[in-house]
């Protein structure tokens, strides 16, 4: 559109009488400066550069916000997960200890049951049968095992 106006102004100057009007010279100078000197290109470039600058500014702000949130999340994770990991390690150690104790207790229990069976057999064989003296009755919880 500006190019059309410039052409119209140039044609108007060419159709004018031989002596140019006082206002045509400054207008032609301004039009030449705008179109011939790269004024439009400079304006468009400036607008483009401004858009790029704004986009880069927004990207930088987004990056800083992302970094800040990442640090907040890492801090929260460390403050929440750290104690849980410590507690979990303690519980795992306690479970390991209890499993070892249970294994040892079971081994002792079955060795005792085996000894009691052997002892009961020995008593039955070597002690004369006297109805007045009977061996004590084992507890109900271990009767099946003996």
- Taking the C-alpha atoms of residue 71 and residue 63, their distance in angstroms, rounded to an integer, is 12
The pLDDT tens digits of the residues spanning 114-142 come to: 998 898 888 888 877 776 677 777 888 88
Task: Decide which of 143 and 105 is more confident.
Answer: 105
Handedness of CA 87, 90, 96, 98 (dihedral sign): negative
Whose structure tokens read 């290109």?
41
- Is the pLDDT assigned to residue 98 strictly greater than 90? yes
Q: What is the pLDDT of residue 2?
A: 47
Taking 70 as the threshold, does the pLDDT of residue 45 lie above it? yes
DSSP assignment of 42-60 equals: HHHHHHHHHHHHHHHHHHH
Q: pLDDT band at 30, cuts 50/70/90?
A: confident
């Amino acid at each position: 559109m500006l190019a059309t106006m410039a052409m119209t102004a140039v044609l108007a100057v060419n159709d004018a009488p031989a002596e140019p009007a006082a206002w045509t010279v400054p207008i032609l100078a301004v039009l030449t400066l705008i179109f011939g000197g790269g004024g439009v290109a400079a304006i468009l470039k400036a607008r483009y550069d401004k858009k790029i600058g704004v986009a880069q500014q927004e990207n930088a702000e987004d990056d800083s916000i992302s970094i800040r949130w990442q640090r907040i999340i890492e801090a929260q994770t460390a403050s929440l997960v750290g104690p849980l990991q410590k507690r979990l390690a303690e519980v795992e150690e306690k479970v390991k200890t209890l499993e070892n104790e249970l294994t040892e207790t079971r081994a002792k229990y079955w060795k005792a049951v085996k000894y009691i069976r052997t002892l009961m057999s020995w008593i039955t064989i070597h002690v004369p049968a006297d109805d007045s003296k009977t061996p004590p009755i084992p507890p109900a919880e271990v009767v099946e095992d003996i």
